[in-house]
Structure 1
């Protein structure tokens, strides 16, 4: 009996070690990364619901880009803090104050992950928020209502808040040129990899099942290439 108890103890230790060795992933995103009942906090606005939308064929959380990526790579989800319609800066649609939902408001609530994916700037582009100037220090609250200062503030904060965490920025296709250029310039300044998505299939302006798979495949290809260069 003692021998079997000892064997069970070692099995539990080994299984715990395997679980702990799995990398965890957190997501800071907008509608493209939402799914009903899979967000933290659960009060965040959702675009993808368990009931299929009339204008989009995504019908299961397993079809989302992030769920596919995490499952296929043996990772586990830490926190998905995505909020439908949210902008990176504090300015939203119709020039409304979005400081209660912006990326820079939610960026400190991502748990303790090994990897963070920031998937944003889509609503900043669609809402035509103020672009602002490139600014890498001494931000005032007013500065954070413009895209470039807010983007830089977010990346600097996150690098300090989550040291030794892999941070990637996913850049949607079909955005305004000045948004694309700003994201790539600011990511380069902070040495944060920017994954430029190409030709993503969309329904209702959002990734379809095919589009979700394309995001997953492009993300995997980018990370594989990054690892091969190290």
Structure 2
């Protein structure tokens, strides 16, 4: 009888240990935040909810074949690694700097309501951050500006290079002990590519350079989303 009691007590202790381990693992699973543009949007999965999106539910088949959030690059990456989504602050059409599309007007639109340098402070408390931008700066022909690594003025943030530097300087300070990666789209102008690589190197932020991404209407298809996920995973696994 005494032995039976000891056995039950041992089993109960083991069960509690396993439950505790499972709770601890779930509690400390790494979380991911995304600071992005249209490539990282999906209806119902961006914050703030008012952010403009490209990928809708139900799918807009005239624009894309991506019909489920599970097909997005970031959802695949998070699921494959047993991570958690902390926050996806992506905004379709957004630029890193404050200069947006002219839209047949002589001046660049003021995108300070949606730019990366405006949204970079709103990413929660993640373990990993992906910055996926510069595409709209390239497409809008935003002013490239000069390399500048301190003393930024409000005017500076309307040009790409100083805004990019300001963003990485802020984020590496704002999110200490967080893994920060910049994802650079394929098929952008060399001036943008070299600017991103140079500024990332200055702040020691790893730059994941995408290659050969399949697109429709300039945006990743299901195949393209798979390629992005695979290339991001490969980079991180081999760093």
User: What's the TM-score bracket when you normalise by the shorter of the two chains?
Assistant: over 0.9
Partner of 2:230: 217
Selected match of 2:133 from 107, 120, 125: 120
Distance of 1:43 and 1:12 partners within structure 2: 40
Partner of 1:27: 34
TM-score, normalising length from structure 1?
A: 0.94
RMSD: 1.6
Which region of structure 1 is more displaced relative to structure 2, 141-150 or 19-28? 19-28
Distance of 1:19 and 1:201 partners within structure 2: 35
Unpaired runs of at least 5, structure 1: none
Query: Superposed, which structure 2 residues align to 1:81-160 within 5 Å?
Result: 81-94=89-102, 95-160=108-173
Deviation at 1:21, TM superposition (A): 2.4
TM-score, normalising length from structure 2?
A: 0.91
Distance of 2:116 and 2:227 partners within structure 1: 24
Deviation at 1:122, TM superposition (A): 0.2
Partner of 1:63: 71
Partner of 1:195: 208
Deviation at 1:96, TM superposition (A): 0.4
Distance of 1:106 and 1:87 partners within structure 2: 11
Deviation at 1:102, TM superposition (A): 0.3
User: Do structure 1's residue 78 and structure 2's residue 86 form an aligned pair?
Assistant: yes
Selected match of 1:180 from 162, 177, 193: 193
Query: Superposed, which structure 2 residues align to 1:154-169 within 5 Å?
Result: 154-169=167-182
Number of residue pairs the alignment of both structures matches: 226
- 3-state SS of 1:38 partner: coil
Q: Which runs of 4+ in 1 moved over 4 A?
A: 1-12
